Structure 1
Amino acid sequence: MTAPRIDTDTLRALPKAVLHDHLDGGLRPETVVELADAVGHPLPTTDPGELAAWYYEAANSGDLVRYIATFEHTLAVMQTREGLLRTAEEYVLDLAADGVVYAEVRYAPELMLRGGLTLAEVVETVQEGLAAGMAKAAAEGTPVRVGTLLCGMRMFDRTRATADLAVAFRDAGVVGFDIAGAEDGFPPADHLDAFEHLRRENVPFTIHAGEAHGLPSIHQALQVCGAQRIGHGVRITDDIPDLAAGKLGRLAGWVRDRRIALEMCPTSNLQTGAATSIAEHPITALKDLGFRVTLNTDNRLVSGTTMTREMSLLVEEAGWTAADLRTVTVNALKSAFIPYDERRALIEDVVLPGYAALPRTSPRT
């Protein structure tokens, strides 16, 4: 018997966890318009609806470099204390409204220095905005725990300085580290000094790998740099010649057997050309093979998406059930960069009861 579909309102109410979401890719269109006007930054359009459509169209180029270029306008309005406070607070409130109970937000402080803020001031300001958002969300009855990942840009030379920031702020809301930016041509091992420093200081990190480049990128991230998670990781399927048969190569076997989380972002992966369709996205086959896959949004404005939308797409186009959605949510929390007792409490006290309360049947949207 075919499993019943889950309607959108039910999906929105489900407790969610997101590990891979960029602060500068998740602004509200109206916020970009208002802040751009305040700082005198020209936009493709000053109509919020048209701006959202512009982002979505530009992101659907199938080119990771062009996808990243759309961040010019969001970053332009995140160079001041006022801009950072507002965008960070709204970021949290938007997640809470979407049913997210745990999130890790990532951004690169080095990209937010044009207004005169120092690296430390950027981090302090974002943390202040996130804290304000969490307080408001809790007061509204939709609490969400948000941890921060600081990103070094793999094309530049400030990665070690950003790693130092992650160490300095690990008791002030920063839970880990990442490197981001154009993957092809900028291997993770170029930043080995930063990763070795983080390991010495017991700071966990993930690495964008296996999106625009293949198995060598994933191998370096794991076996040379020591990443605990992989951002995207879509190309791990290059080490599984026959997905249906499930015969794994040595790297794929390592990823699965060591429970290394793959931070997969279906809509974003389609837009950057890393996947061809939701129905054929590797997240489903990898889930069925026992990989610790997680579901993420990557950039909510740029990709025109939410966690509810990502879930809905997988339900409607890949046949996912509530059990599948629960699995990837629990996977995310098991691999979150927060203490074990906090992860366990979120799973046992929030996620599992939330799914247990689902009706046995749900109408199709």
Structure 2
Amino acid sequence: MTTLDAAHLKLAPKVLLHDHLDGGLRPATVLELAAETGYDRLPADDVEGLARWFREAADSGSLVRYLETFEHTVAVMQTVGALERVARECVEDLADDNVVYAEVRYAPEQHLEQGLTLDEVVEAVLRGFADGERVAAERGKQITVRCLVTAMRHAARSLEIAELAVRYRDRGVVGFDIAGAEAGHPPTRHLGAFEYMRASSAPFTIHAGEAFGLPSIHEAIGFCGADRLGHGVRVIDDIELPEGAHPADRSFTGAKLGLIANVVRDKRIPLELCPSSNVQTGAVASLAEHPFNVLARLRFRVTVNTDNRLMGDTSMTKEFALLAEHFGYGWADFERFTVNAMKSAFIHFDERLRFIDDVIKPGYAVLLG
């Protein structure tokens, strides 16, 4: 069996379902785009300093403070050229980390300040993804990247964005999402958008159970009908662990699940867990206390994700390494989490199966020896 270290973890095939385009820019790209567009509000003027600022600003323990960092990245993503470049580099960076399939999300409504239309934003990002796939292939890396369009939960354009998702679903957009501060902005405010998605037989995920708690998850699945939960980490609040249990235990026999937790597990609703980000936003106190392991051992459909690679100074390889360090996972565990993610992707069944049978399982077979 191959040694489970950072170098070999990077070789493992990975599937990423929760990654924000505007949260994954290269610091150098932020600086260059700011110079091109005349944006002069960056908090640092060198690559190292800017990278450090994003990381430290995001480490506030507050989702609201965490979200403020996006002011700078969104500001430099207001032109066709900038969107194409950021999307292309996103694909290149994910491919370098051996991500073989990714669904990357962003909010088109946030990129209209210089006159672009919603359709122009989507088309620019899709061109960037396609260019990135070609560049990756030229470098010997095969990757498929699809798009989730996101509506901001504090705004009132969710139905319009849902219609955008359906309009482009055969051209690279595979689903819909709502994001932004949870408190005071429940998903039920956007029922019209979710009803439109269901009527169009189109899948969607909802940011829920991150900063808020069980009520957010209940609304997302009970009222809105979410196919996946963005984060969903607070489902742990509906699980009573055996006395003396520790988050790093290998078994949680005797754990008692409440109604919401049972529904999430029974229906195999995927959890888009983002370990590093969940600590940064204060959703959990520390990686050692992250409920990922509890949920994985209790056979919830857990997936591993980056959320925002710039703010978290992270990658899928780093997230895998952290989980291995804190919970003692091996190659078979990471294969299961990766298959979980691929099963939960918003592409068609035959495509998901092809990735599992032709890419993921063979890749892990080599690592398992």
TM normalised by structure 1 equals: 0.96
- 1:150 is aligned to 149
Does the aligned pair in 1 maintain the 2:22–2:73 contact within 8 Å?
Answer: yes
Matches within 5 A, 1:100-139: 100-139=99-138
* Cα distance between partner residues in 1 of 2:359 and 2:170: 24
Aligned pair 1:322/2:352, yes or no?
Answer: no
> How far is the alpha carbon of 1:316 from its aligned partner?
1.2
AA aligned to 1:169 is Y
- Give the counterpart letter for 2:15 in structure 1: A
Contact 1:5 / 1:321 at 8 angstroms: preserved in 2?
no
1:5: Cα distance to partner? 5.8
| Deviation larger for 236-245 or 60-69 | 236-245
Q: Structure 1 residue 40 and structure 2 residue 70: aligned?
A: no
Partner of 2:228: 229
Aligned to 2:16: 18
SS, match of residue 325 in structure 1 = helix
Give the stretch that moved more between structures: 332-341 or 136-145. 136-145
1:363 corresponds in structure 2 to: none
Find the aligned partners of 1:115 and 1:303 in 2 and give their Cα distance: 28
CA contact (8 A) 1:127 1:173 kept: yes
- Matching residue's letter, 2:23: G
Post-superposition offset of 1:280: 1.8
Q: How is 1:230-309 mapped onto 2 (pairs within 5 angstroms)? A: 230-242=229-241, 244=252, 245-309=254-318
Shift of 1:279: 2.1
Matched residues, percent identical? 58
1:89-108 to 2 correspondence within 5 Å? Answer: 89-108=88-107
**Alignment-derived partner of residue 215 in structure 1:** 214
Letter in 1 for 2:50: L
- Give the corresponding residue for 2:340: 331
Q: 1:96 to 1:180 in 2, by over 3 A?
A: same
Any idea what the Cα deviations from partners look like across 1:104-131, whole Å, max 9, x if unmatched? Answer: 0000000000111001100011001111
Letter in 2 for 1:175: V
**Partner deviation per Cα, 1:307-364 (whole Å, 9 max, x = no partner):** 000000111122111111111100000000000011001011101111110155xxxx
The one-letter amino acid paired with 1:66 is R
AA at the equivalent of 1:345: R
8 Å CA contact 2:103, 2:145 repeated in 1: yes
For 2:47 and 2:57, the matched residues in 1 are separated by 15
**Alignment-mate amino acid for residue 36 of structure 1:** A
Look up the equivalent residue of 2:123 and give its one-letter code: E
The 2-side partners of 1:210 and 1:355 are apart by 31
Partner of 2:247: none
The aligned amino acid for 2:306 is T
Q: Distance in 2 between matches of 1:145 and 1:319?
A: 30
SS at match of 1:184: coil
Equivalent residue runs for 1:50-89 within 5 Å: 50-89=49-88
AA at the equivalent of 1:73: H
- Residue 139 of structure 1: how far off its partner (Å): 2.0
Q: Which amino acid aligns with 1:250?
A: L
| Larger relative contact order, structure 1 or 2 (CA cutoff 8 Å, min sep 6) | 1
Report what 1:343 is aligned to.
Answer: 352
Runs of 4+ in 1 over 4 A off after TM superposition: none
Q: Secondary structure at the match of 1:192?
A: helix
- 242-251 vs 330-339, greater mean Cα deviation: 242-251
Aligned residues: 358
Amino acid of the structure 2 residue aligned with 1:132: D
For the residues of structure 2 that align with 1:359 and 1:257, how far apart are their CA atoms? 30
| Cα RMSD for the two superposed structures | 1.1
C-alpha displacement of 1:4 = 8.6
Q: Do the aligned partners of 2:175 and 2:346 also contact (CA within 8 Å) in 1?
A: yes
The gaps in structure 1 that reach 5 residues or longer are 361-365
Q: The residue matched to 2:39 in structure 1 has which SS?
A: coil
Residue of structure 2 in register with 1:28 after alignment: 26
Question: Take 2:194 and 2:161, find their aligned partners in 1: how far apart are those partners?
Answer: 11
Structure 1 equivalent of residue 202 of structure 2: 203
Paired residues of 2:31 and 2:45 also in contact (CA < 8 A): yes
SS at match of 1:252: helix
- Name the CA distance, whole Å, in 1 between partners of 2:239 and 2:66: 28
Amino acid at match of 1:10: H
Distance (whole Å) between structure 2 residues aligned to residue 256 and residue 37 of structure 1: 48
Distance in 2, matches of 1:268 and 1:5, equals 27
Corresponding residue number in structure 1 for 2:367:
358
> Gapped runs of 5+ residues in structure 2?
243-251
Residues 169-184 of structure 1: pairs in structure 2 closer than 5 A? 169-184=168-183
Amino acid at match of 1:272: T
